[in-house]
Amino acid sequence: MFDCAPAKKHTEKINFDVPLNACDSHCHVFGPAERFPFDVNRSYTPPDAGYDDLNAKQANLGLRRAVLVQPNCHGYDMAAITDAIARSQGQYRGVALLPAHVTRDQLLQLDQAGIRGVRFNFVAHLTGATIEDVAAMADKIADLGWHICIHADEISLLRLLPDLKKLPVPFVIDHMGRIDTNNGLHGEAFEALLQLRHCQQAWIKVSGVDRLAGGVAPYTAGHAFMRAIIDAMPERTLWGSDWPHPNVAGDVPDDGLLLNIFGAVCEDPALRNKILVDNPQLLYRFEDSQPTGAAK
């Protein structure tokens, strides 16, 4: 029995030139469960959305690269992600969920497999992490060139930021911190998020615009927040679709619409290239360095 709706094929035509080597910096793979079983302690059960489905989504959107973020439904078993990375011929990278007792040898193996960060969940429905867990993991991965990925909400974000700034590694805030848009652009949490422009190790994903807008397409309530983040720290902003959109409010988003929203919010082609190509290249260390430009 699934408790998440399946991803939809995008129907909205992309209305700008997607740069060559553009990256979806936040997406997932689910299964296929027959080959990669879900964790028995998962908090949700999604329908399959494996490598082949992701690869088709990427091709439809004109995207080449992707960063696969380990979902709760697979727990600490990284097999689905590492398999997808291996099949991608160097174009995918991953962010892991890892137990505190992960060994040095395991970290090195994951690094070779294309993992570039460790994620911690602080949102209400995925609680369990502590800032002490984050700090301990940051020390373990500091010499690997990895980062810490934080899935927080408005309440937990304000509590976490002072300690995140002390970490010895970069940190990435997922989904614009899932701030409450009802508090406006000058709300306390969003103001704190924008202050990260002064913290050179901080990155923000302008993903999850549908979540900020309560699932009401075309997600207008989130557009100004995306624009404010891009304006504040373009050199450390990433874009992601969150495909295949687990546990969303409202209808499952059209990924073509999500990419077009980014294109409309970020109108400058050079800036789009920076956020879609250059920034992911720097943080996730993709293997090839093909010249960038408009996709054919």
Q: What pLDDT shows up at residue 88?
A: 97
Average pLDDT over residues 99-111: 98
Average pLDDT over residues 211-232: 97
Q: Quickly state the pLDDT bin for 114 (edges 50, 70, 90).
A: very high
Checking if the pLDDT of 267 tops 80, the result is yes
Q: Which of 24, 22, 44, 23 is nearest to 33 (CA)?
A: 44
Q: What pLDDT shows up at residue 128?
A: 74
pLDDT tens track for 183-194: 999 999 999 999
What share of the chain in percent tops pLDDT 90?
90
User: Can you list the positions of beta strands (E) in 73-131?
Assistant: 92-96, 115-121
Q: Quickly state the pLDDT bin for 237 (edges 50, 70, 90).
A: very high
Q: Quickly state the pLDDT bin for 45 (edges 50, 70, 90).
A: very high
Checking if the pLDDT of 216 tops 80, the result is yes
Mean pLDDT, the chain, rounded, equals: 94
Average pLDDT over residues 66-94: 97
Residue 213 contacts by C-beta under 8 Å, 6 or more apart in sequence? 181, 219, 220, 221, 222
Write down all domains in the chain, each with its CATH number in brackets. 23-284 (3.20.20.140)
Instruction: Say if CB 10 and CB 60 are below 8 A apart.
Output: yes
Average pLDDT over residues 47-71: 97
Checking if the pLDDT of 296 tops 50, the result is no
* Cα distance between residue 9 and residue 89, in whole Å: 24
Q: What pLDDT shows up at residue 288?
A: 63
Q: What pLDDT shows up at residue 292?
A: 41
Q: Quickly state the pLDDT bin for 293 (edges 50, 70, 90).
A: very low
Phi and psi, residue 108, nearest 5°: -65, -40
Average pLDDT over residues 44-69: 97
* Cα distance between residue 114 and residue 95, in whole Å: 9
Average pLDDT over residues 82-104: 97
Q: Is 242 tagged catalytic?
A: yes
Which residue in the list 24, 48, 153, 242 is annotated as catalytic? 242
Checking if the pLDDT of 19 tops 50, the result is yes
pTM listed for this prediction: 0.95
